[in-house]
Structure 1
């Protein structure tokens, strides 16, 4: 798995969401690396990491533990946004001895209904050839019903080749794994909850973490605390980075040692 490690101190692993890459949480990493070893990863099927035909949370959690092993890290604080938050929670439930604390950004440990059909339709219908430009690709995605900020974000996955462009991400693998990405089905081995500190941060204008999910959050993460970042949606870390970074930094500082 592709990752970047910087800084020294207690380790913090940062995990991005669907369609993202390790740069998504780079701003947070720059703040944390002043006092911590920060590891930013490309999740499989994203960025420069390997492509898997099928991916699920137990597999990815194990792969993240392999990264910690590769760096000789016994325990880490883990921060995850969206899909990355589910990966972080899977790590905590399946490998609790390796996790010091969790920060989960705008996601809950539940199964969601599909909500990316328009995005997948726009991406799969985009023809990538020698005539494709970033401008034409952006126009295609917007015409497919994807808002411009999301379209711009998705197009960060385009990379230039000799014959035009190709996707860095494994689009077919993500489509094939989508039911498992929005699902929450862990083969727990005698461990259905995580007894260490966890912080859930939700966007005030997001519908990813609602009151109906509170019981499941508290059942699986009984020591969880929660914060709402008003004036933000699902991309809370990008919309109010200074406040988000401060909340995460303070929580990790409180749970060192």
Structure 2
């Protein structure tokens, strides 16, 4: 359980909690916070053990759930729309299953119900690469597979050779532990119990978490809406306008 969680709030209105993926940083959502906060109270946070948030013990999905509940209580929020991206979708699933009274709706973004063999093999490769080559090589692989080619060329490409031995701020031990955390946790067999509004959002060109995982989630959750975008694994960043429109349309349909 965390002893100190960094969080930030912006805007006023119905509460929205944005839960980031494997990186676990509140800053992942920066492009989306500005448009959302015009009409909503937007809460972001660093996961326990990541960024400015401390952690006592190993990371876990239930530990992140506890952190979200702690933040809701601290900010006097009874219920919130919850948006969980990638690893954050596991947190959103658990929140919705175990604390439905706190969840007005859930958006499961680039998520999955349970890892399949391709998922397991790809994450095993990422763990191996991180252990053998370090943080710079790991980050380079993530950028190459998680972003669309045009976005990569605009944001990350350099004139020189790719430097996979550059100094890196990646916390190797924590990143390894967080990958193990998500590989060893699922609630697939319980998703049929969900009785709150759920939208499942995936990208057809997501190489990290293939779109069929979103299709699987939508089949398993009663009444879930399925939305397909493009933009690779990080559609909230690469297709912010379209992603924002999907969220707004979903939430406005509930009123």
Q: Normalising by structure 2, what TM-score?
A: 0.77
SS for the counterpart of 2:232 is coil
The residue number in structure 1 matching 2:248 is: 249
1:171 deviates by 3.3
Matches within 5 A, 1:1-80: 1-80=5-84
SS for the counterpart of 2:250 is helix
1:120 deviates by 3.7
SS for the counterpart of 1:235 is helix
| 1:32-57 alpha-carbon deviations (Å, 9 max, x no partner) | 11111100111122221113542222
Q: How many residues align?
A: 231
1:170 deviates by 4.7
1:116 deviates by 3.2
The residue number in structure 1 matching 2:183 is: 182
SS for the counterpart of 2:94 is helix
SS for the counterpart of 1:68 is helix
Partners of 1:110 and 1:183 within 8 A in 2: no
Partners of 2:201 and 2:214 within 8 A in 1: no
For residues 198 and 11 of structure 1, do their structure 2 counterparts lie closer, same or farther at Cα, with a shift above 3 Å needed?
A: same
Partners of 2:127 and 2:179 within 8 A in 1: no
* Aligned equivalents of 1:49, 1:116: Cα separation in 2: 24
Matches within 5 A, 1:192-211: 193-207=193-207, 208-211=209-212
The residue number in structure 1 matching 2:160 is: none
Determine whether 1:226 maps to 2:226.
yes
- Unaligned runs of 5+ residues in structure 1 are 128-136, 154-164
For residues 86 and 212 of structure 1, do their structure 2 counterparts lie closer, same or farther at Cα, with a shift above 3 Å needed?
A: closer
| 1:208-242 alpha-carbon deviations (Å, 9 max, x no partner) | 254476455433x2121001113x22112222111
| 1:6-33 alpha-carbon deviations (Å, 9 max, x no partner) | 1111100001111241111121111111
Q: Normalising by structure 1, what TM-score?
A: 0.76
Matches within 5 A, 1:102-121: 102-112=106-116, 113-114=119-120, 115-121=122-128
1:255 deviates by 2.5
1:147 deviates by 5.9
Aligned CA-pair RMSD: 3.3
For residues 243 and 200 of structure 1, do their structure 2 counterparts lie closer, same or farther at Cα, with a shift above 3 Å needed?
A: same
* Aligned equivalents of 2:183, 2:75: Cα separation in 1: 30
For residues 121 and 111 of structure 1, do their structure 2 counterparts lie closer, same or farther at Cα, with a shift above 3 Å needed?
A: closer
Partners of 2:16 and 2:81 within 8 A in 1: yes
Partners of 1:94 and 1:191 within 8 A in 2: no
Partners of 2:82 and 2:107 within 8 A in 1: yes
